[in-house]
């Protein structure tokens, strides 16, 4: 499968995840936000929290559940990108959270507060 095919599937999964989050009451602020520090699939507001959402999709679970791909390395990348977003917007005193949306043949699942920053990253 080509990178273009994978990218198209990724965008389709992110759109499905955004619709799902909207149905849950999230207000989508950004999709596919990119900076020199990295990329965040979805940035949204859920009640008072600013939420950075990683979307993972798989056709089947032969190689594991989609959320298992959000390992510690990927978490660090997302945290760094989130800090870049906060800095670019001048946001300093905001509750933040990291969620994962997992999409597979089994359906769609939201994992709230899937991971946290250990505090070593600063901007």
What is the domain partition of the chain in residue ranges?
A: 3-115
Question: Cα separation of 65 and 62, whole Å?
Answer: 8
- Name the pTM for this structure: 0.86
pLDDT tens-place string over residues 11-40: 688 999 999 999 999 999 999 999 888 999
**What is the reported pLDDT for 4?**
46
> What CATH architecture applies to the domain 3-115?
3-Layer(aba) Sandwich (3.40)
Q: For residues 21 and 15, give the distance between their C-alpha atoms in angstroms, rounded to a whole number.
A: 10
Q: How far apart are CA 98 and CA 17, in angstroms?
A: 14
pLDDT computed for residue 65 by the predictor: 75
The b/e string for 8-22 (b: 16+ C-beta within 10 A; e otherwise) is eeeeebbeebbebbe
* Sheet containing 27-35, strands listed edge to edge, beginning at the edge strand earlier in sequence: 27-35, 38-46, 49-57, 96-104, 107-115
Q: Kindly state the tokens that stand for 46.
A: 């859920």
Is 49 exposed, middle or buried, given 0-12, 13-18 or 19+ CB atoms closer than 10 A? middle
109 burial (CB, 10 Å; 0-12 / 13-18 / 19+) is middle
The stretches in the chain having pLDDT less than 70 are 1-11, 60-62, 118-123
Residue 10: its pLDDT value, please?
59
pLDDT at 67: 84
Consecutive H or E run containing 22: helix 3-23
């Amino acid at each position: 499968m080509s990178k273009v095919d994978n990218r198209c599937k990724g965008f389709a999964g992110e759109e499905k995840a955004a619709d799902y989050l909207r149905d849950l009451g999230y207000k989508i602020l950004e999709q596919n936000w990119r900076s020199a520090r990295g990329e965040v699939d979805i940035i949204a507001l859920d009640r008072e929290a600013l939420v950075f959402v990683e979307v993972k999709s798989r056709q089947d679970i032969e190689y594991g559940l989609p959320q298992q791909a959000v390992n510690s390395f990927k978490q660090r990348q997302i945290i760094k990108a989130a800090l870049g977003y906060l800095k670019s917007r001048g946001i300093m005193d905001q509750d933040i959270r990291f969620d994962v949306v997992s999409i597979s043949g089994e359906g769609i699942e939201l994992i709230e507060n899937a991971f946290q920053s250990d505090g070593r990253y600063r901007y």
